[in-house]
Amino acid sequence: MFSSLSVAAENVAPEFATANPSSGGFDVHAAERFAKLALACVEKEYPNKISHVLNSDTDVAPPRKLTPAFYGCYDWHSSVHGHWLLVRLVRAFPDASFARPAREALRKSLTAENLKQEAVYLGGQGRASFERPYGLAWLLQLCAELREWNNDQAREMSANLRPLEEAAVKRLKTWLPKLSHPVRIGEHDQTAFALGLMLDYARSK
């Protein structure tokens, strides 16, 4: 459900967002509901469903240690698109009541230290298929959203994301040539949705 809400918000271009419900646009009241959902989960560690390969005793750790930026919202990809949702909504409604707590949540998560650890985790042994393609595609969508936001905080977070962004792009470039046919199972592994997000990312560069 959270993913479907994020997709709905994706249809709202920040320059066309409106605070007037009568216009038929995505108004600030709808944005408030979306923002509350994301803010309630980005730092909520449990319950948590992780896809985690253990290589040694040192890999036994809570989610906040394994992936310190994206450990909330039940699983990694939901945390990633929860952060994307906050960025999208703050861009569209910078003066809304949720804008300040959303900015603070983003600031706490998307630090250089946290994201370096995320890149280390992604590159760990046995994790070649981690969140591929769905979660990695949402990560690239987050990178694109930050890059398109003309804001000092966004530029800082975008720079912090670069090691993880580069690792994700490398992982997907390795995987795509091996993809012999579309995956149409209608679940997270299906390729159409993820490729659409990747295309958005490529066009934003």
pLDDT digits (tens, 9 = 90+) for 124-166: 999 999 999 999 999 999 999 999 999 999 999 999 999 999 9
Please, where are the H alpha helices in the chain? 2-10, 28-41, 63-66, 76-92, 99-109, 112-122, 134-147, 152-175, 191-204
Q: Which pair of tokens denotes residue 13?
A: 């271009």
Q: Is the pLDDT score of 1 beyond 60?
A: no
Residue 13, pLDDT score: 59
Dihedral of CA atoms 53, 65, 75, 140 in degrees, nearest 10, equals -90
Residue 15, pLDDT score: 56
Residue 16, pLDDT score: 47
Secondary structure class of 15 (helix, strand, coil)? helix
The model's pLDDT over 55-96, given as tens digits with 9 standing for 90+, comes to 999 999 999 999 999 999 999 999 999 999 999 999 999 999
CA angle, 126 then 169 then 81, to 5°: 85
- Please give the Cα distance from 95 to 107 (Å, whole number): 17
pLDDT band at 3 (very low <50, low <70, confident <90, very high): low
The model's pLDDT over 20-53, given as tens digits with 9 standing for 90+, comes to 444 457 899 999 999 999 999 999 999 999 989 9
Quote the number of domains for the chain.
1
Q: Which pair of tokens denotes residue 113?
A: 């230290």
Domain housing 174 = 2-204
Q: Report the predicted TM-score, pTM, of the whole model to 2 decimal places.
A: 0.90
**Residues 155 and 143 sit within 8 Å (Cβ to Cβ):** no
